[in-house]
Structures are given as C-alpha cells and as structure tokens.
Structure 1
Amino acid sequence: MGADIHGFVECRATHRVLDVEDAGGWSAAIDLDLLYAGRDYDAFGCLFGVRNHAGFRPLAEGRGLPEDVSAEVRHAHDEWGRDAHSASWIGWAELSRVDWDEPAEQADARVHEYRRGADGGWTRTGKSFKRPGDRPAGTEWTEGDTLFRVTRMTRRDAVPEDGDWAPVRAVMRVLAAVHGEEHVRLVVWFDN
C-alpha cells in the first residue's frame, strides 16, 4: 500500500501591519494538492522521514501539527481521522537554508536501475526490487541490458530544484518575500 502526502502552505500576513509582532494568526494559503501531485518516497524520507528507504536524516520528522495551526488546516487533517499519520511541518526559514548537497546517512536500501539508451548511455529507470545487501555505495553490476548501482543519494537527488517540488518552493519563496521567512511554513500529513 502506498503513502500519499496532504497538507497546506500556511502564512501569517504581515503586510499593512506596522509592527510584525502584531501579525495575525496563521492562514491556509494554498492546498498542497494544487502544487504537488507526486508520490516520491525519496522526498518524503528526506523531508519528513516517511518511507525513508534512502537513509536520510529527516529535516522535519514527527513534529505533529503546529499548536497554532490554522482552523482550515486542522479541519482538513481531522477529516482524515485515523488514516492520517506522520503529521509534521517545516518553515521556509529552515527549508531555504538546507544544504541540498548533504548526503544520506547510508546507501539507499533499494538498488538504482538503469537501461542502455539508443545512444549507448545509461538512463535511470527507477529503483529495483534487488537489495544491496553488504555491497557498498558505488558498487555496479550489469545483468543483460540493465545496470544496477548501489547509491548514496544527496538531498538534491531526492528533492531536485526543478523537480515535482519546485512549485511548492516557488509559492513559499514568494510568500516569504512578502511576509518574511518566519511567517511561511508547509504543514503536512500522510495516509496509506
């Protein structure tokens, strides 16, 4: 059974406020479903520790819903009932300072699979059901026209700048430019 992500980008509006400390509460700015429609366990593991087969030190694992979460987000989460799990959040101030070249703590538990293209080069086609066992990262072998490689991923591999998470980052970046980094966050939960 697969795991799907749900959530919202939240923001505390600070424009037209003389003192940032007078900013109102958090508001649901946009539903994550409008920005991200993927199911990428590498990203889920890197960001939130869910299905972390790639062995990352998660950035924001198990934080739960923020105490001051907006009513709209709490309602959307609560509608999932017992099916919702692994709620967490990460602020733009934290996300914008991540070292995306940081490697995972261990090699991926799934072997990366490549196929030879018409030009003779290898193109990654996905993750194999093969397990690396005691093979170290960097180990490669071929079986027919398939190359298998034990890989230790970086955060950039899991959440590429131009990948499926780019729209989420773009919206958070724009809101942070208007309201300040500490006033923008991503609140998520998962279901199976």
Structure 2
Amino acid sequence: MGTDITGYLEYRAPQDDQEPVWHASHDLHSLSVGRDYDAFGCLFGVRNYANFRPLAAGRGLPADASAGVSARFAQLTEWYGESGFHGTTWITWAEVKAVDWDEPAEKPDARLHEFRRTPEGLALTGKSGFSPSLAEAVGLRPGEVREWPEGSEWLVGDILYRSVTVRRRDAISETGQWQPAWDAMTELAARYGDDNVRLVVWFDD
C-alpha cells in the first residue's frame, strides 16, 4: 500500500484591526501535487528512502491553523481516528526559500538506481529496493537489508544497478510536480510576506 499526501496552503493576514489569523488558500490536490516519495522524505521525513535530513518533520498540526484546515483535520480524526493518518507537519515559505537545493542526502539512497543503456548513454529507468536477479548476483537473502557504498555498481543482464546519493534538487526539481505549489506560495508571499505563508500536510497509507 502506498502513502498519499493531503496538504493546504495557508496565509496569515490582519482581520478588522485584530491579531493576524491564518486563512486556508489552495489545497495540494488542486495544484496537482500527488504521491512523490523523494519529496516527502526531503521535506517531511516521510517515506524517506533517499535518506535526507528532513526539513520539517513531525511538527504536528499548527496550534493556530486556519479554520478550514482545523475543521478538515477534525473531520478526518472523527472518521478514521488519529491512527488513520500520520506525519502531520508544516513548513513556511521562508524555510523553503532558504533551502540549499544542492545539499546531498545524509547517505546513499536505500534503493539502488536502475539504468538501461541507450544510444544516448545510460538512462534512469527506476529505483528498486529489491530485485531477484540482483539478489542472486550479490548473494542477498530474502528480507536482508544492506547499505551499499556510494558508486557501487552491478551489471545484471542489460540493467545497471548503482548506489547513488541524491541531492535535494534531484528530489524536487525546478520543473517537477511541486512547482505549482511553489508558484502559489510565491504569489501569496508577495502579498503577505514569506513568514506568513505556509504549507500544512499530513499523510495516509
């Protein structure tokens, strides 16, 4: 079973000469942000197979979450119980802007990267936690987990398996599926300020 994300963009703004409050804006579904394990791990420490230092893991639901987000979270808790979802956290646009996208993960990806030879060179075709043919080639027993040194390679048939340490920009590229969310947060921040725009998320399996 896979892990999916639910998320909402919020912005903080004054209201009738009172203290600023948070308001819900876009939801990630409307921005076409879906299942993306490398991004989940990089940002929030969920499904962190790539072994990143998470940017904003385990913060919980903000105590001052917007009325819309609070109501939705309470509704889901009533339906499924708190065990029905996990990884609830949040991150501000100021934090996202400060990210060093060239920062590497803390150790190589737990999944070996699979490449096939093409006329243009090696092409990445996937990432694998286990391959029967590779397991046989390296003597890996069922259920055994190993950490492979970066750069380790095995050619099995026409597939090259390689241990790779990825960077944050490999997980969340400038043209990837998270770009609409970043664009929306940029627009909100231009009006309300970087610290007054955030993304609130949780996950379900």
Match of 2:146 in 1: 133
Whether the 8 Å contact between 2:108 and 2:148 is mirrored in structure 1 is: no
Whether the 8 Å contact between 2:37 and 2:46 is mirrored in structure 1 is: yes
Match of 1:173 in 2: 186
Structure having the higher strand fraction is 2
For residue 156 of structure 1, report the CA deviation from its aligned partner.
0.6
- Residue type of the alignment partner of 1:95: V
- Given the two structures, how large is their TM-score scaled by the length of structure 2? 0.85
Whether the 8 Å contact between 2:33 and 2:181 is mirrored in structure 1 is: no
Give me the whole-angstrom Cα distance separating, in 1, the residues matched to 2:25 and 2:19.
Answer: 15
Match of 1:46 in 2: 42
- Residue type of the alignment partner of 1:73: V
Once superposed, which parts of structure 1, at least 4 consecutive aligned residues long, lie more than 4 Å away?
A: none
Whether the 8 Å contact between 1:4 and 1:191 is mirrored in structure 2 is: yes
Give me the whole-angstrom Cα distance separating, in 1, the residues matched to 2:86 and 2:148.
Answer: 33
Within-5 A mapping of 1:86-125:
86-117=87-118, 119-125=119-125
Match of 1:64 in 2: 60
Count residues with an aligned counterpart. Answer: 187
SS at match of 1:25: strand
Match of 1:149 in 2: 162
Whether the 8 Å contact between 1:41 and 1:52 is mirrored in structure 2 is: yes
Give RMSD over aligned pairs: 2.0
Percent identical pairs in the alignment equals 53
For residue 188 of structure 1, report the CA deviation from its aligned partner.
0.3
SS at match of 1:57: coil
SS at match of 1:115: strand
Within-5 A mapping of 1:11-22:
11-13=11-13
Query: Which string of whole-angstrom CA distances, capped at 9 and with x for unpartnered residues, describes residues 80-104 of structure 1?
Result: 2231211000000111010010010
Gap runs ≥5 in structure 1: none
Whether the 8 Å contact between 1:12 and 1:23 is mirrored in structure 2 is: no
Query: Which string of whole-angstrom CA distances, capped at 9 and with x for unpartnered residues, describes residues 70-128 of structure 1?
Result: 110012222322312110000001110100100101111110111222x2411111111
Give me the whole-angstrom Cα distance separating, in 2, the residues matched to 1:134 and 1:53.
Answer: 12
Match of 2:31 in 1: 35
